[in-house]
Amino acid sequence: MGVKAVLLGLNHTGKGDFTASIFDLNTKTDIEKATIKYNGVTYLSKVNTRLNAIINADINDQKYTLKESNLIVNALEVNLNGFLQLNEQDIAIDFSFNTPKNQFKDVLSILPNAYTQDFANVKGRWHFRFQW
């Protein structure tokens, strides 16, 4: 079955010096509703997503490094770090992420069917920080 992604209300802007062999790409992406399924299992359902990132692009080495990034999925805020490099035989990927300041209810916001109109009324006192 594979991966199925449905992205509604996608708005993307990016700016960088594409004539240079190494440059920073400033990018902003907003998706009103993103749904991600893998092998028939829905992992994200109609989540509001926003990504602001600065990506260092090294065209000669085909390496793309996240210099700064902030991803918000519904109420969950995530910072991403790492790189992706296209090699002759494979793709090298080294990414990590952390949640800088979230409550437990922010994690619940990404679960299918949990993020509803009255989600703002959910009370939560547990704070957490996740790093991977």
pLDDT digits (tens, 9 = 90+) for 113-128: 554 555 555 566 655 5
Structure tokens at 78: 């995530």
> What secondary structure letter does DSSP report for 106?
H
Mean predicted confidence (pLDDT) in 11-18: 98
Query: Looking at the 3D structure of the chain, how many domains does it have?
Result: 1
Q: Which residues pair with 70 in a beta bridge?
A: 52
What's the confidence (pLDDT) of residue 42? Answer: 86
Average pLDDT over residues 49-69: 97
Strand runs labelled E in the chain = 3-15, 22-38, 41-58, 63-73, 76-86, 91-98, 102-103, 127-128
Whether the model clears a pTM of 0.85, i.e. scores above it, the answer is no
**What is the extent of the structural domain holding 93?**
3-128
Q: What gap in Å lies between CA 55 and CA 48, rounded to an integer?
A: 22
